[in-house]
Structure 1
């Protein structure tokens, strides 16, 4: 392993580079320099330390070259803090439109509640307790989604020789079904909300837009005018199969909502579409508005997405289409989560049974 050197333009510093050859890109900088003529003791000390670092880098690269083709991984390639490994994995593997991997890292940091944790402390017992932490904190598929991403990181770390055995191998991800069924809005309740005033017009318009597009709170919160092209909405969700964003055709009501927002700020149609408070603040406004509309249900922002799916299903729209509109690549979530749990009209349902005059049989 050769280290080359050259003078900078002023000629007062020596710049060091790795010398892999004469072709383009084969002489990358080491990021280290020394003073040609140190003017004081401080610069002389600097030169000594810089040369020590340079020698260390040279030794490490030599070991890396020698280990190629062997199962040995140089110890300097390992991160002493597992949180740094986790964070780097998230940066390298996160996908636009998916927050599960990033959120799993956030939850793990909150769980361990320390800034430094060595890989040796990532035991099967700790992994089990982390899964329990997620199950105690979240409902639905969230615990399983976060823990499965954590398992991805542990599996990668095991292959990178941080662990001799995968500590999550026998600890499966688990969901936490909610015992409380989420309410949804029916057609007539859509109309009631459209007709009922709300003291925060931005919240009203944004929620109705979610009802007609199936967007989540986080999606409508960060929706920008650049995401809208004519009658189309190009979402930030990327389809796995095609590698392209989901493109949705907007309902006339959704288009009318956007036009109303434009009319409220005709010269400021850049950046985000809606000016919304926090999620908690928006849900408080929503609950009062729902009450004013005479709807006796516990409606939160996530109910808009559920209602969107259910009303399409009621009109016999097929599951693959609904799944696409919701940004899913399979119909699993439509069949499992975004479905009607309560009968819409019992009287109409039983009316399909055979009918006859009861007196003729008495």
Structure 2
């Protein structure tokens, strides 16, 4: 960090007010332009613009000496952590290295799901700001605003789609956690987040099917039998498309007369044990020793379209995606009194608060049911 003396002329142009300018690093804005971080301190001192008399010249000389003394004092204070600065060795600490240290503490057996979010955030941060030499001196409110804007408006998935609002919020919360940790450890003396808004996560509508609608699908023909079996399997097990798609017969066993799936979740990379019902097992087809269970299942626009056609043929007007099977499973269990902790475990969620979103659906259904009570004439 450096400090300079800045002179500003008054309206008449005969005097110049003096202030100190604190320069502490730079950042690249959303337009790719390099901007400097700086703070100003107004001093109650002035100079004559064109000193003519001896007293005016003497005034200028003494004032400059005084301001230089104040500047030297401020440099000492900045080095000792006053005025919102910390020592230069801490400010020059690597943001990304500190981020990685915190991220690795999340890499536990019970926190793999959360760890994958940290990894996703790290990837997106690097796309926005590739320079690994980023220091905490450069992590300013302006830089954080740029990150927030990138997550909300520019960050893309592998398939080139914009990330969801919920994902943007989750990623920015990871950045906030790192900055807060740096503040708690004294790496920075002032928290830049005080001037930065967070990203509010918008709850998205979760389409699910009622048991009557699932039964209607069972009775309705589907062009692709493997799609029909796989989707109904998701409704009965809560498995994601990615886990159903890669499910192998080697991951299927039997324990005490019950069929069990033992697999690593594709999304969270955590080991999952799931006991399934007999009717779910029947949807898997002829048992084999190994090989994909749902052979021929592919993620394609044609299959997605056929899923909608199948639902329409069954009299279902909802916009159904494959993930609706997972939602159907969760809502079905919760509406039948299964506790939220158990449902969370069955879904493979790393945090119960993720499952709470389904509980909110149940609450809205109950409220809607209460309003259907007919008028009794009171």
Give the unaligned 5+ runs of structure 2: 1-86, 154-161
In structure 1, C-alpha distance between the alignment counterparts of 2:166 and 2:212, rounded to whole Å:
30
State the partner residue of 2:315: 294
1:161-172 alignment, distance < 5 Å: 167-168=192-193, 171=196
Shift of 1:108: 2.0
Deviates more, 1:153-162 or 1:127-136: 153-162
Q: Contact 1:97–1:236 at 8 Å: present in 2 too?
A: no
Q: Does 1:327 align with 2:353?
A: no
State the partner residue of 2:276: 250
State the partner residue of 1:236: 264
1:259-278 alignment, distance < 5 Å: 260=285, 262=286, 266=288, 269-270=290-291, 275-278=296-299
In structure 2, C-alpha distance between the alignment counterparts of 1:279 and 1:73, rounded to whole Å:
53
How does the TM-score come out when normalised to structure 2?
0.56
Deviates more, 1:308-317 or 1:285-294: 285-294
State the partner residue of 1:144: 169
In structure 2, C-alpha distance between the alignment counterparts of 1:309 and 1:100, rounded to whole Å:
22
Q: Does 1:340 align with 2:362?
A: yes
Residues 152-181 of structure 1, C-alpha deviation per residue, up to 9 Å, x if partnerless?
Answer: 455667789986766557646534214x63
Q: Contact 1:213–1:254 at 8 Å: present in 2 too?
A: yes
State the partner residue of 2:229: 205
Shift of 1:214: 1.6
Q: Does 1:186 align with 2:233?
A: no
In structure 2, C-alpha distance between the alignment counterparts of 1:124 and 1:235, rounded to whole Å:
44
Shift of 1:207: 2.0
Where is the strand percentage greater, Structure 1 or Structure 2?
2
Q: Contact 1:142–1:175 at 8 Å: present in 2 too?
A: no
Residues 138-159 of structure 1, C-alpha deviation per residue, up to 9 Å, x if partnerless?
Answer: 4463223222233445566778
1:106 to 123, 135, 142: 123
Q: Contact 1:135–1:175 at 8 Å: present in 2 too?
A: no
Residues 195-246 of structure 1, C-alpha deviation per residue, up to 9 Å, x if partnerless?
Answer: 22323333332222221122233333443444433212335369x9xxx844
Q: Contact 1:233–1:247 at 8 Å: present in 2 too?
A: yes
In structure 2, relative to structure 1, the CA distance for the partners of 1:173 and 1:247 (3 Å cut) is farther
Shift of 1:187: 0.6
How does the TM-score come out when normalised to structure 1?
0.58
State the partner residue of 1:317: 338
State the partner residue of 1:219: 243
Shift of 1:250: 0.8
State the partner residue of 2:134: 118
Give the unaligned 5+ runs of structure 1: 1-70
User: How many residues matched?
Assistant: 272
Give the 3-state SS of the residue equivalent to 1:310 in structure 2.
helix
In structure 1, C-alpha distance between the alignment counterparts of 2:138 and 2:103, rounded to whole Å:
20
Kindly report the root-mean-square deviation, in angstroms, between the aligned alpha carbons of the 2 structures. 4.4
